[in-house]
Structure 1
Amino acid sequence: MKNLTDMMKQARQLQSKLAEAQEELEKLEVEGVSGGGMVRVTLTGKGTMAGIKIDPSLLKAEEGEILEDLIVAAHNDAKVKAEAATAEKMKALTGGLPLPPGFNLG
Structure 2
Amino acid sequence: MRDMINMMKKAKEVQEKMQKIQEEMANLQITGTAGGGLVTITLNGKNTITAIKIDPSLLKPEEIEILEDLIMAAYNEAKTKIEITMQEKTKSMTAGLPLPPNFKLPFS
For the 8 Å contact 2:32–2:76, the answer to whether it is kept is: yes
Shift of 1:94: 2.3
* Matched residue, 1:46: 46
TM-score normalized by structure 1?
A: 0.81
Work out the number of aligned pairs and report it: 106
Unmatched 5+ stretches in structure 2:
none
Residue 43 to residue 56, structure 1, CA distance change in 2 (3 Å): same
* Matched residue, 1:103: 105
Unmatched 5+ stretches in structure 1:
none
Shift of 1:24: 0.9
TM-score normalized by structure 2?
A: 0.80
Structure 2 CA distance, aligned partners of 1:25 and 1:81? 12
Q: How does 1:1-106 map to 2 (within 5 A)?
A: 7-95=7-95, 99=99, 101-106=103-108
Q: Percent identity?
A: 52
Amino acid aligned to 1:42: T
Shift of 1:58: 0.8
The RMSD of aligned alpha carbons is 2.4
